Amino acid sequence: MRDDAVIIEVGVNEAAMRAQNPHVAYSPAECAADALRCADAGAAVVHWHARDPETGAPRFGDAGQYAEALELMRAGGDVLAYPTYPVDVPVEERLDHVWELGEHHGLELAPVDIGSVTVVLWDGQHNDFFGVDSLGVTAVVANPLSFTIDALTRADSLGMTPTLGAFDVGFTRTMVLLAESGRLRPPVFLKIFLSGAWAVGPFPSETALDFHLAQIPEGLDLEWVAVPYALDDPAMVERLCRHALERGGGIRVGIGDNPAAFPDVTNAQLVERAAQWCSDAGRPVASSADLRARFGLTSR
């Protein structure tokens, strides 16, 4: 993989509903087909959430649905893909489906978030918090350090690469310390979230991304991807992605991440836009095969 190659990742569906964008994938077959179209357009990685095929309700820990989608992706082409996890189960059970998929269905990437986060949803139209009384047990996504370390160890034992989510600047610092302690094996795969209505971390801006990057010491073997998230302004998504490209990173796009910004386009069309931004920056686009070689993965 060339040093200047860009990782394009796609947030396929997240919690977006078809009322926000009619192209949101729900079923395993729809998710797989969408992932393969994105791969054809230039995406190296896709991230998707298992959903009820009819209603779109969350099925975030459903190993069977993920396995079905993975098999369809594998049969139809080549793409690196990884699931999410449920937050309404005991923390020690949160990644059970990930380990099952790694052991029995060839999952190559493991989602491991490296810090706990309070869920803060902001309603910009009414200038108030949204859904505070209904959050209940999901008001805090708890990822204690002991859980993170255990997850990194399990992923390593299964030959999986952790894909690390940094929702705030402190998460990036923790990533650096995990690497320095020897508990996180390089090369590291880091996603830096720049979030809007999901009001976590600093306000989304170029400066916020730069502050994350300032925590990372020179010499750390790392690939990072900027994730503009829960934004309603397509111009801001593009601006943040172009800044990430200037800083040498990868980018994530997707109607799952930003349905309000992209109410009528497909994920593949967003990947095509992202590939054009890469071309404008004079940088090539990485393939899934490039990433497998970079992270020492063997396609399964």
Q: Give the helix ranges, DSSP H, for 206-285.
A: 206-214, 234-246, 267-280
Whole-number pLDDT of residue 210: 98
Q: Strand (E) positions, 126-168?
A: 128-129, 140-141, 161-166
The size of the chain, in residues, is 300
Summarised one tens digit per residue, pLDDT across range 232-291 is 999 999 999 999 999 999 999 999 999 999 999 999 999 999 999 999 999 999 999 999
Q: Residue 299 pLDDT more than 60?
A: no
Whole-number pLDDT of residue 164: 98
Reduce the DSSP state of residue 195 to 3 states and report it: strand
Residue of 130 and 11 predicted with greater confidence: 11
The first and second tokens of residue 110, run together, are 């493991």
Share of the chain above pLDDT 70, in %: 98
Q: Do residues 188 and 221 touch, judged by C-beta distance below 8 A?
A: yes
Arithmetic mean of pLDDT, 179-184: 97
CA 266 to chain centre: 17
Summarised one tens digit per residue, pLDDT across range 122-166 is 989 899 988 877 766 678 888 999 999 999 999 999 999 999 999
Distance CA 57, CA 32 (A): 18
Q: Which of 27, 6, 34 is nearest to 255 (CA)?
A: 34
Give the pTM: 0.96
Arithmetic mean of pLDDT, 175-185: 97
C-beta atoms surrounding 271 within 10 Å:
25
The first and second tokens of residue 143, run together, are 């990822």
Ordered structural domains, the chain, with CATH: 8-295 (3.20.20.70)
